Amino acid sequence: MLHHLLLTTTSTTLPGGSGGGSSININLGNTLSKPSDSILVIISLALLSLAPSLLILMTGFTRIIIVFSLLRQALGLSTTPPNQVLSGLALIISLFIMAPTLTDVNNHAVQPYLHGHLTATQAYRVGEVPLRNWMLKQTGSQELALTTSVDGEHPAQPTDASMAAVIPAFVLSQLKSGFLIGFIIFIPFLIIDLVVASVLMSMGVVMLPPTLVSLPFKLLLFVMVNGWILVTHSLVVSFHP
């Protein structure tokens, strides 16, 4: 494990030198001392490389981006808003929802580790507790039972499950919740499509695509009810059962 790594490098004596050697000790074990700059750089690079995966698997980003994508399809828009806008909005909302949890992790794990009050192992164990508790609140019992049974775990309580079982169960629950919210969003726009198609058929207008006629009405309805605020509010509330 990374936090148990002990790397020691000793320089060799150069000809004509003073004959004294120097050593560089990088310790990630159970010693209470401030981490060196080298360790902080290594941890930062590791987190940056894992950031996309952590964002998708351990935050509400998955549910939010699914709902926004289904909303765009319900409106009949293929590329508007563009994917960059939807991803950026989903990222900001995810960070807003995760702010209390991330603050708790920073106050009780990251800062004590940086100041030498906790070892790397202790900081990891303390930091995963609020994150796991938040994920368990968004995880269904069936999904957690599936992952724990496959993993061979038999936890007495959900909080006793390992992160290896909690993370996939959380992702499955986010997919389920995202599709349920998307289904509810689809219903009013589907009704508009059916009404417009029925009117066109009764008028004998068969050459004009119903989606082309219903699009302005769906956009007008969405703007009149302030749809972006309603959808965003529903998503934020869905993370606070």
Average pLDDT over residues 133-148: 88
For the chain, give every domain's residue range.
Answer: 2-238
pLDDT value at residue 12 = 37
Q: Where are the alpha helices (DSSP H) in the chain?
A: 37-58, 61-75, 83-105, 111-114, 120-137, 141-151, 163-203, 210-224, 227-238
pLDDT value at residue 173 = 92
Average pLDDT across the chain, whole number: 79
Average pLDDT over residues 161-180: 90
Higher-confidence residue of 142 and 44: namely 142
Instruction: Return the minimum-mean-pLDDT range out of 10-14, 16-20, 67-71.
Output: 10-14
In the predicted structure, residue 25 carries a pLDDT above the cut 80: no
| Sign of CA pseudo-dihedral 137, 140, 144, 147 | negative
The model carries a pTM of 0.76
How far apart, in whole angstroms, are the C-alpha atoms of residue 57 and residue 168? 8
Cis status of the peptide bond prior to 81, with omega within 30 of 0:
yes
- CA geometry: angle at 104 spanning 100 and 108, to 5°? 170
In the predicted structure, residue 65 carries a pLDDT above the cut 90: yes
Q: Which pLDDT band, with edges at 50, 70 and 90, does 35 fall under?
A: low
